[in-house]
Amino acid sequence: MAETGNSKNGSPVLQLPVTEGIMSEEGGGYSWSRKTANSPDGMEQAATGKIIMITGAGRGIGQAIAKAFAQASAKALILTALEKSELQETEKSIRSINSDCGVFSRALDVRDRAGVEDFVKDAASWANGQIDVLCANAGIAPPVESIATSDPDAWWSGLEINLKGPYLFSRYVLPKMQRKQSGCIIFTSSIAAHLVEIDISSYLISKLALTRLADCIDVENRKMGITTFAIHPGRIATQLLENIEGPAQDPESQSPGGFPSLDDASLPGPACVFLASGQADFLSGRFVDITTGLANICKEKDVILENDLLRVGVSARWTQENGKELYSRTLR
């Protein structure tokens, strides 16, 4: 059961339990897997009849999301990634999972406005105007360096790919969802949106802005039946994580604190299927850390709504005692 408390500035804080994993004995030791933490029962038909667009679908998290929707009986998948060869690998996996699932794919740079507009137009035409879900997953970790020593173009590329890309896809997909009065957009954000760390400012800022973009889209479109989520997919051994932290550790290893050092790559897939199913629409416009377990989060629906939790914001408080405004950054 979750508990609520107050942060130092008085804002309510939701404390959720760590997701239960599966313990297994291997080689005299134990490994922890959160692989099934977001795999509710009865999701095999959750995407029946739906057409899903996924960016960054060539590997890692994007590929895992594509596989999960194929397993959930999606009608068709619209995929894009930077490299065609990676898309071909994903397509092969999808067809082995669900031979009835149609696939439309194209190699694409998500920063290219004309390319994105043409891709969405052509994909929508192929799908008879139907795009039910957009999973904007493509992302990059710019070089790890301080602001004072950073290359301006490399630093800005983080915002171009991590923020402009999702914006462009949303810009051209949203009108189609608005005409249908339904749809779902899921951004792959990061817990980094709430952190301040040295040498990765471009990445942190891009994920913070992306989380706010989800909030803005929700406010503008919630009355049209369109939901929007920004998710933390977990610490998954992707190329992006390696660029930030160096070579990945053994996924079975334990951190000194006793928690898993890495999450299973399949973790975000079922979570995206669940969010797109309409069973957690109350979370629209909010930041969803799927590593806490969607079942845990949904149990606390009343607490979340009552206290308007799981949002990113800045609170400004006036106190008569000290006669000045106190600003604090808060995860509400």
What are 257-289's pLDDT values in tens digits? 333 446 777 889 999 999 999 999 999 999 999
Q: State the pLDDT confidence band at 317, using cuts at 50, 70 and 90.
A: low
Residue 265: the pLDDT is: 77
- CA distances (Å), origin 94, targets 88, 103, 137, 255, 278: 10, 8, 17, 34, 23
pLDDT band at 293; cut points 50, 70, 90: confident
Amino acid 269 reads G
Interatomic CA distance for residues 160 and 233, integer angstroms: 21
Query: Residue 175 above 50 pLDDT?
Result: yes
The answer to whether the beta carbons of residues 78 and 124 sit under 8 Å apart is: no
Owning domain of residue 131: 17-299
Residue 323 belongs to a domain: no
Domain CATH for 107: 3.40.50.720
Q: Can you give the pLDDT at residue 133?
A: 98
Maximum mean pLDDT: which of 27-31, 75-79, 323-327: 75-79
The pLDDT value recorded for residue 323 is 45
Q: Is residue 61 part of a domain?
A: yes
In a domain, 118, yes or no: yes
Arithmetic mean of pLDDT over the chain: 81
With respect to residue 279, please indicate whether it lies within any of the assigned structural domains.
yes
Q: Is residue 311 part of a domain?
A: no
Is 258 within a domain? yes
Dist. CA 257–CA 306, nearest whole Å: 33
Strand blocks (E) in 58-121? 76-81, 102-107
Mean pLDDT computed over 136-154: 92
Instruction: Report whether pLDDT(180) > 50.
Output: yes
Could you tell me if residue 52 is inside a domain?
Answer: yes
Q: How far apart are the first and last CA of the chain?
A: 18
1 within some domain: no
> How confident is residue 239, by pLDDT bands cut at 50, 70 and 90?
low
pTM: 0.81
Residues 6+ apart with CB under 8 A from 236: 60, 61, 262, 263, 264, 265, 267, 268
- Provide the number of structural domains found in the chain: 1
pLDDT of residue 266: 82
